[in-house]
Amino acid sequence: MCTSICYTSTDHYFGRNLDYEIDYGQKVIIVPRNYVFNYRDMPAQKSHYAFIGVSVVNDNYPLLCDAINEKGLGIAGLNFQGPGYYFPQIKGKKNIASFELIPYLLSNCESTAEVKEILADASISNVSFSSNYPAADLHWILSDKTGKSIVVESTKSGLHVYDNPVNVLTNNPEFPSQLTKLSDYVDVTPSNPKNTLVPNVDVNIYSRGLGTHHLPGGMDSSSRFVKAAFVLSHAPKGKDEVENVTNYFHILHSVEQAKGLDEVENNRYEYTMYTDCMNLDKGILYFTTYDNNRINAVDMYKENLDAEDLICYDLFKKQDINYIS
């Protein structure tokens, strides 16, 4: 499972938990403005907006999981197995292979409004990157510097773009059904509840936090969707970057998966491999990983964004305990 959010405070912070059981060797990468993209069914692009994100790099090509560009547009791909469907290339449409969607949109769009326009005549094609990297069934969340988010889903009924008022995405089912599910929990509250059950009886409110008693806590995608929406919508706004980044990680870590809890096959468990937080206004990517709770950061503006070659940094790091005695 994966969870992605956009948290708005003084700046806007976008990113995700990547929950899975297979380590693809992801890196933090910067794609500079003059790295050439050779698309499968569209003209090559020699220059574009620069972006930073988390990616598998194969044959010097960035197979991106999530990223933001220098204009403050962010996008993350999350598993969507079942409802997800990609089409054979269709004549007269802009055919974007699923692995090209992130680089294509970040290369060319500044905002979610522009994404809606550019996707109006598009279809997500089922072309694979290679036999080793077949097309992954995904749907995508995109957010921009206005704090607005949208969701892109390709299903048998076509390409759908939905406004996302809660700024959260997880996995199945389709996004409109996830939103509907929220209504089951609208009375969850950070305040201690009033006794409306038996108002004439003096019920002992035995604990703090009883307003969240019915908040789901499962690893499944619906539970994470509801919980992340609740935690995000009640998160305080920080007064500076450090407070905002701290708040952000608390939101996503509230729905992270510890090893041992989500068995995907015999004795094999999905877990939160990394959590990233990308400042849409400043181009900085912060991350933690399962084995390293320290917040690491890469600032894209510290690199030459007019270069031609990908710039890569290690993502998976060892734990870094500060022994004080």
Ligand X SMILES: C[C@H](CCC(=O)NCCS(=O)(=O)O)[C@H]1CC[C@H]2[C@@H]3[C@H](O)C[C@@H]4C[C@H](O)CC[C@]4(C)[C@H]3C[C@H](O)[C@]12C
Which parts of this chain interact with ligand X (CB under 6 A)? 1-2, 18-20, 24, 56, 63, 65, 77-79, 81, 99, 129, 133, 135-136, 138, 171
Distance of CA 235 to the CA centre of its chain: 18
- How many Cα atoms sit within 13 Å of 115 on the Cβ side? 31
Q: Is residue 21 within 8 Å of 271, Cβ to Cβ? A: yes
C-beta of 137: minimal distance to ligand X in Å?
8
Pairing of strands 122-125, 94-97: parallel
Tokens of 163: 């406004």
Q: CA-to-CA distance for 317 and 288, rounded, in angstroms?
A: 9
Burial of 149 (0-12, 13-18, 19+ CB in 10 A): buried
CB nearer to ligand X: pick between 136 and 179:
136
Nearer to ligand X, 124 or 245 (CB): 124
**Least separation in angstroms between CB 63 and ligand X:** 4
Would you give the distance in Å from CA 120 to the centre of its chain?
23
Query: Which of 18/285 has CB closer to ligand X?
Result: 18
Shortest separation between residue 128's beta carbon and ligand X, angstroms: 6
Nearer to ligand X, 39 or 133 (CB): 133
Q: Give me 151's structure tokens.
A: 């969701």
Q: Which is nearer to ligand X, 49 or 61 (CB)?
A: 61
Rounded to 5 degrees, φ, ψ at 77 are: -100, 130
Q: Which of 2, 65, 109, 277 is flagged as catalytic?
A: 2
DSSP-assigned letter for residue 101: H
The 10 Å Cβ neighbour count of residue 305 is 19
Nearest residue (CB) to ligand X, 212 versus 290 = 290
Name the minimum Å distance from CB 317 to ligand X: 18
Q: Which tokens hold the place of 46?
A: 């020699």
Length of the chain: 325
Q: What is the C-alpha to C-alpha distance for residues 253 and 121, in angstroms, rounded to an integer?
A: 38
Q: Is 2 a catalytic residue?
A: yes
**b/e per residue, 40-76, with b = 16+ CB within 10 A?**
eeeeeeeebbbbbbbbbbeeebbbbbbbbbbbbbbbb
Least separation, in Å, of the C-beta of 272 and ligand X?
A: 10
Omega of the bond prior to 173 within 30 degrees of 0, cis?
yes
Catalytic residues: 2
